Structure 1
Amino acid sequence: MSREDFEDAVRDALDLIPPELAERMDDVVVLVEDEAPQDDPELLGLYEGVPLTERDGWWAAGSLPDRITVFRHPTLAVCSSVEEVVDEVAVTIVHEIAHHFGIDDERLAELGWD
């Protein structure tokens, strides 16, 4: 899958987010990178930032936007079809957005999103 097609899959996954949830996302950017960090090369996605549940008055002043990064090559490596890639990207986006809302991996596992 080309980078352009993968980026389209990420955009499509973002379009699946219910509007009432998307409106509550605050100061977050979604990026696509080819490779995951060297210390976790099989990572499919990563949230970096301050979850909404942990923000207070100091946070807004001069803070950079939160980042959700979806890693293309690791995702392609675990999928055997375009349909699987599309599904996996959607799951990854939901997972990382949940972190933006303060939901940790343990709770995501309880909800079936691990």
Structure 2
Amino acid sequence: MEIVPRYKFEQMVVDALDDLPDELVPVLDNVVVQIHDRNPDEPDLLGLYEGTPHTERIGDEAPDVVSIYRVPLCEMCDDLDDLNEEIFVTVIHEIAHAAGIDDDRLHELGWA
């Protein structure tokens, strides 16, 4: 599929954030979500979490950063429905890391 325009992709990410499971919503208080075209070091990366998981915080650390990468997500999808699903999976995956949830637990919860 073609690369979705940035404004449309941004709205899709906002929609995914709006649909997060209730357990993850409090984490958003200290998370900045950014959209980039690609990760410069790993161009095929779909998303990246950087920060201190909320389960390990001891003070007023700077906000965590979740980056969502537009071009690789678009490149892996066949259509807009597929892209919506992949964006949701990527957003929930990275926000779950901010909540201190590892990949194994993500799978147990059915979020990956």
TM-score scaled by length of structure 1: 0.85
Name the CA distance, whole Å, in 2 between partners of 1:67 and 1:29.
5
Q: 3, 7, 30: which one pairs with 1:4?
A: 7
Q: What percentage of residue pairs aligned between the two structures are identical? A: 49
Q: Residues 55-66 of structure 1: matches in 2 within 5 Å?
A: 55-57=57-59, 60=60, 63-66=61-64
Q: Is the 8 A contact 2:46 2:90 kept in 1?
A: yes
Q: Residues 4-83 of structure 1: matches in 2 within 5 Å?
A: 4-19=7-22, 21-38=24-41, 40-57=42-59, 60=60, 63-83=61-81
Amino acid of the structure 2 residue aligned with 1:37: P
Q: Is the 8 A contact 2:24 2:99 kept in 1?
A: no
**How far 1:113 moved relative to its partner?**
3.8
Name the CA distance, whole Å, in 2 between partners of 1:101 and 1:94.
10
Q: Which runs of 5+ in 1 are unaligned?
A: none
Identify the range of structure 1 (103-112 vs 26-35) with the bigger mean alpha-carbon deviation: 103-112
**How far 1:87 moved relative to its partner?**
0.7
Q: CA RMSD in A?
A: 1.7
Name the CA distance, whole Å, in 2 between partners of 1:13 and 1:25.
13
Amino acid of the structure 1 residue aligned with 2:89: V
TM-score scaled by length of structure 2: 0.86
Q: Residues 68-107 of structure 1: matches in 2 within 5 Å?
A: 68-107=66-105
Q: Which runs of 5+ in 2 are unaligned?
A: none
Q: Is the 8 A contact 1:36 1:74 kept in 2?
A: no
Structure 1 or 2: more helix by fraction: 2
Name the CA distance, whole Å, in 1 between partners of 2:8 and 2:75.
15
